[in-house]
Homo-oligomer: A and B are copies of this chain.
Amino acid sequence: MTGERAASPSTAVVVAVGSELLTPHKSDTNSLFITERLNAIGIGVVQKLVAGDEPTGLARALRYAMSVADLVIVTGGLGPTADDVTRDVAAELLGAPLEESAAIVEAIRARFTARGLEMPEINRRQAAVPRGAEILENPGGTAPGLWLTAGNSRLVLLPGPPRELRPMFDRLVTRRLASAAGGRRVQRRVIRTTGRTESHVDELARPIYEPLAAGQPPVETTILASLGQIDLHMSTVGADPEAGARALDAAVGELAGTLGGCVVSTDGRSLPEVVGELLRGRGARVAVAESCTGGLIASRLTDVPGSSAYVHAGWVLYSNEAKVALGVASELIETHGAVSEPVAEAMAVAARAAAGVEFGLAVTGIAGPGGATPAKPVGTVCLALAGSEASPRVRRVRLPGDRERVKFQASQAALDLLRRALLRGATGS
């Protein structure tokens, strides 16, 4: 390690520990979250490593990481089992003997007791603390984090499960790292869109975001595509947070104006959250009748806390009999097929009537791999929204990908149909 390093870290290395992260099936995603949070306080991640649960290799990796940056964030390998070796390796590397913390043993025991379980003896391993380490509380699990220092080096050990890691890391940033990092801040905004392709969004947005990158302060824009959703991420870095916020607000305003109706939110809210707030604002409720999405739309709507205010009932109508039982005329199915606009419309009308609510939303389609015909290939999906208007809104789309991708995109399209109707003033009653 060199001696010229500043006391406040400006760079970090992230090390993910776990042999499963060295298989073809699993990759480290914690480092993305960690990078985002470190960037926000002006700390750059200069390298990332993945090491297995094997002590010699892990010791090498940690030693190397500490030679590259003075802040090393390590995730994983703090579990109770014998292949969780991060604690032991770090202790040995820093020459700090492990000592059992009675307080941690009690905290772990209490977690088990709360669930009516006895603490297995192996969980004691999680209470071993290298001498001199500071303990980082883990409200979400049994493995506490550890903060170790050696000279200018900071070695931070955190549990691997994102649900435990994330709140712990946020607390760490606020309480320790932000002040050490010296006041620079990254600020971000997200414009979330649905219903357009990545290239289309880029075509519309590029003439606006390109000049912004040369502005003062510069606003950087990244386009991130995920299933059924294209997001624009904008950020500024600087010591003047107000100037940054002004630049971002102006950028968001201009971009959202140009992108128009496909903008779902500019504050990070998901499509189900936005739909939920619109329903709540109008005092309206929705009932869903789902064929190919198989309950996914109802499940996504009810992922939102408080959704019982606007979701009372839903139907999974996976067979023709189930569709008919809810009130779809069997002649409609015989004439047009189960995947057709008229059947989607009848499903939406029937769900609305049966639930006695303002909106009925329905989806019927071919998720694949079976069930396709030349006229109705895999990915053919019919959507309908029934409200108080005489004729329901009906759409037919063709969605790419395999079964799960079709299901998810169909749920996006259905929720977006409802969102746009609500924005146009539909009240359903």
Contact = CB atoms under 8 A, between A and B. Distances in A.
Interface in A284-315: 288, 290, 293-299, 301-303, 305-308, 311-315
A101 interface: no
A380 to B, nearest CB: 12
A404 interface: yes
Contacts of A388: none
Interface size class of A (residues with CB under 8 A): 35 or more
Interface in A122-148: 122-123
Interface string A195-227: 001111011001000100000000000111100
A216 to B, nearest CB: 20
Interface string A313-356: 11111110110010000000000000000000000000000111
A176 interface: no
B49 A48 contact: yes
A203 B124 CA distance: 13
A225 B161 CA distance: 9
A27 B20 contact: no
A48 B24 CA distance: 12
Contacts of A49: 47-50
B60 A404 contact: no
Interface string A23-64: 111111101110110010000111111111110010011001
Contacts of A202: 80-81, 122
A401 interface: yes
What is the copy number of this chain in the assembly? 2
Interface stretch (A112-120, A254-262, A420-428): A112-120
Contact of A312 (B67, B319, B400, B401): B319
A302 B295 contact: yes
Nearest to A50: B48
Contact of A116 (B24, B26, B398): B398
A315 B318 contact: no
A370 interface: yes
Contacts of A52: 46-47
Given A117-B197, A202-B122, A322-B313, A61 B47 contact: yes
A51 B47 CA distance: 5
B369 A305 contact: yes
A212 to B, nearest CB: 13
A407 interface: yes
Contacts of A405: 163
Q: Which of A27, A33, A48, A295 has the most CB of B within 10 A?
A: A295
Contact of A302 (B47, B64, B316): B316
A22 interface: yes
A403 interface: yes
Contacts of A210: 82
A429 interface: no
7 contacts: A47-B57, A80-B199, A115-B398, A161-B225, A163-B405, A305-B368, A313-B316
10 tightest Cβ-Cβ pairs between the two chains A and B: A294-B302, A295-B295, A295-B298, A314-B316, A24-B36, A313-B322, A312-B319, A295-B299, A48-B50, A296-B299
